Structures are given as C-alpha cells and as structure tokens.
Structure 1
Amino acid sequence: MKPRIKLLSEKKLIGMQTIMSLTDNKTMELWQNFMPKRKDIKRAVNSNLYSIQHYDDLYFKDFNPNASFEKWAAIEVTDFKIIPKDMQTFTIPTGLYAVFEYKGLSSDNSIFHYIFAEWLPNSEYHLDHRPHFEILGEKYKNNDPNSEEEIWIPIKPRT
C-alpha cells in the first residue's frame, strides 16, 4: 500500500478530548460523549469526523503501550468564534503527511504495524512531531469490514 504524500494546510477543529493509553483505551467512551453533541458545532467545513492522536515528543522513541496521549473526536470548522459548551479547540499545523487509504475494521491494527514497521523505515521520510489523525468520511462505517477512512501520518524528509 503506497500512501499519497500531501502538504496539509492548517486545520481548525472543535471537539472533545481525553487522555488515554493503548492499554486504557477510552476511544469508545470519547465518541459516545461527542456524537450526540456534534450538532452543536457551528461553521463546520463539512461532515467529516476527525479522530486525532496527539503524542508527546518521546512517545515513539521508547514505545510503551501504557504511555498516555491525547485522543480527540472533532469536526473541522472555519473559525473558533462559537465554541459549544463542554468542547475545546484544536489546531493541526501545516505540514507534510503520508495519507493511507484504509478499508477494513478500525479495530484491526495491522495497518499501523505496516505503516510504522514496514513503510516508514523503508521510505525517504521520518516521523514528524505533529498530530496523527484519521478522517472518517461518508464511507466510514463503525465496526464494518467495508468501512473506509484516511489515515494521516505526519512526516518530514530524511536529511
């Protein structure tokens, strides 16, 4: 699977976040809290949902499934003029991304093994320290093997 390499312009998002780890996965709880309230977000760019992971600088240097990170459920907006109660803003900065088109169950982590253990080490890129995210568009179907999403991995050229 070969990704598209894309320069992403800054994105403004509004949503909800939680701190979690891979061993203490709170993804389902986060989305269950977010989905009924997403209609309160005004000035949405489109109907795509963003599942964002924001890791600290050392997260990938010494991988530990107990290490915590921020997980976001969000929608892209045109501006931050109206922020619904119980929600926060998040900005994805401009940067280069490897974009993988994924079809399958979101619970199947083999795509991430491929990205980090096979594709990235053999590519001309390093992992960059910016948010990782998935775009869950109209072809996304939770817990469905025919579900489709885009996986965005922040990269920078090897020097």
Structure 2
Amino acid sequence: MSPRIEILSEKKLIGKHIKTSLANNKTSELWQSFMPKRGEIQNIISSDLFAIQVYNPTYFEAFNPISVFEKWATLEVTDFENIPIEMESFTLSGGLYAIFEHKGHSIEIFDHIFRDWIPNSKYDLDHRPHFEILGAKYKKEDPNSEEEIWIPIKEKL
C-alpha cells in the first residue's frame, strides 16, 4: 500500500483532548464526550472529523504501550472567535505528510506504516502531530469503514 504525499497547509481546529496511552486507551471516552457537543462549534469548514495524536519527541524511539500521548477529537473551523465551553483550539501546523487511505480496522495499517513503509521509503518520521480524517465513509467499528491516515514525514538526509 503506497501513500500519496502532500504538503498540508496550517489548519484551525476546535475540540477536546485527553492524555492517554495504548495500554490504557481512553479514545472512546474522548469521542463520547466530544460528539454530543460538536454541534456547538461555529464556522465549521466541513463535517470531517480530525482525530489527532500529539506524541513527545522520543515516543517512537523506544516504543512502549504505556507511554502517554495527547489525543484530540476536533472539527476544522475558519477561526477561533467562538470556542464552546469545555473545548479548546488547536492549530495543526502544516508540512509534508504521507496519506494512507484505509478501509477496515486501522491497527494493521499502523504496523505496515512504521515497520515497512517508512524504513523502506525516502522519508523519515517528522515530529509533528499525526492524525486521521474521519469523513463521510467512516463508520465506527464497521469493517467497511474508510478513513485517511496522515503521517508527518521529512526527506531522509
């Protein structure tokens, strides 16, 4: 599976976040908290949901499932003028990304990306947020669900 490579422009997002780990995954709690309130967000650009992960710089050097990272549930907006109570703004910096279009459950695809594709590509992982775009074809827990997985990359030196 080969990704497409794109330069992403900066995006303004509004949503909620938590600290979580793979071993103590609180992703469902985050989305259960966010989804009923998403209608309060104004100036939305599209209905696509952005699931963002912010990792510390050494997260992938010595992978450990108990390592904590920040997870966001967001929508893209035109501005930060009206941020609903209990939500925050998040600026997704632009840059080069590898985009994998994925159908089904996403666990296997991440193994492919980090163990196969990146080491054999002309790119290294860059230290910027990772994210998934959950659009109209995304269906939670459905084997026919589709999403885009965006991995920050930079050219190998």
TM-score w.r.t. length of structure 1: 0.98
| 1:32 lines up with 2:32 in the alignment | yes
Match of 1:119 in 2: 117
Match of 1:69 in 2: 69
Match of 2:22 in 1: 22
* Unpaired segments ≥5 residues, structure 2: none
Q: CA deviation at 1:85?
A: 0.2
Distance 2:146 2:78 in 1: 25
Q: CA deviation at 1:94?
A: 1.1
* Structure 2 counterpart of 1:142, one-letter code: K
Q: CA deviation at 1:105?
A: 2.3
| 1:152 lines up with 2:150 in the alignment | yes
Distance 1:79 1:154 in 2: 24
Q: CA deviation at 1:98?
A: 0.1
Residue 105 of structure 1 contacts residue 142 of structure 1 at CA under 8 Å; is this kept in 2? no
SS at match of 1:47: strand
Distance 2:127 2:137 in 1: 28
* Structure 2 counterpart of 1:131, one-letter code: P
Equivalent residue pairs, number = 157
Match of 2:82 in 1: 82
For 1:31-70, what aligned pairs fall within 5 Å after superposition? Answer: 31-70=31-70
Distance 1:46 1:16 in 2: 17
Which of structure 1's runs of 4+ aligned residues deviate more than 3 A? none
Match of 1:9 in 2: 9
* Structure 1 counterpart of 2:19, one-letter code: I
SS at match of 2:39: helix
Tell me the alpha carbon deviations over residues 96-150 of structure 1, each in whole angstroms, 9 at most, x when there is no partner. 00000000024xx110000000000000000000000000000000010000000
Identity of aligned residues (%): 62
Residue 139 of structure 1 contacts residue 147 of structure 1 at CA under 8 Å; is this kept in 2? yes
Distance 1:94 1:19 in 2: 23
* Unpaired segments ≥5 residues, structure 1: none
Q: CA RMSD in A?
A: 0.5
Distance 1:100 1:78 in 2: 26
